[in-house]
Amino acid sequence: MDFVKVGEKDGNIILADKDGNRAVFEFLEMTVIDQTEYAALLQTDDECLVLLRFAEGANGKEVYSTIDDDALFDRVAAAFEEIFDED
């Protein structure tokens, strides 16, 4: 599923899905794996950590996508775990 950045509020980003449903996230960190960027976001409503693939869309908007491949998700999660353990 894809989410498009539709705005910012109080230093957080607002993402919307294709149906227009919006959620507010605190941006935590970005990392690169195999030349692809991934973002760690904290959903402000329920403090749920979300890991998403990041790309710039054809229209210049920021697009965040779910990571559907389980093995890739595990690699991304491990990379962020290393980053957060360093802090």
Q: Is the pLDDT of residue 87 over 70?
A: no
Q: Decide which of 87 and 81 is more confident.
A: 81
CA pair distance 7, 13, nearest whole angstrom? 6
CA pair distance 26, 36, nearest whole angstrom? 21
Q: What is the pLDDT of residues 31-84, one digit of tens each?
A: 999 999 999 999 999 989 999 999 998 888 999 999 999 999 999 999 999 999
Q: Decide which of 74 and 87 is more confident.
A: 74
pLDDT of residue 59: 86
Residues 6+ apart with CB under 8 A from 41: 13, 25, 26, 27, 28, 49, 50, 51, 52, 64
Q: Is the pLDDT of residue 86 over 90?
A: no
CA pair distance 63, 57, nearest whole angstrom? 6
pLDDT of residue 31: 96
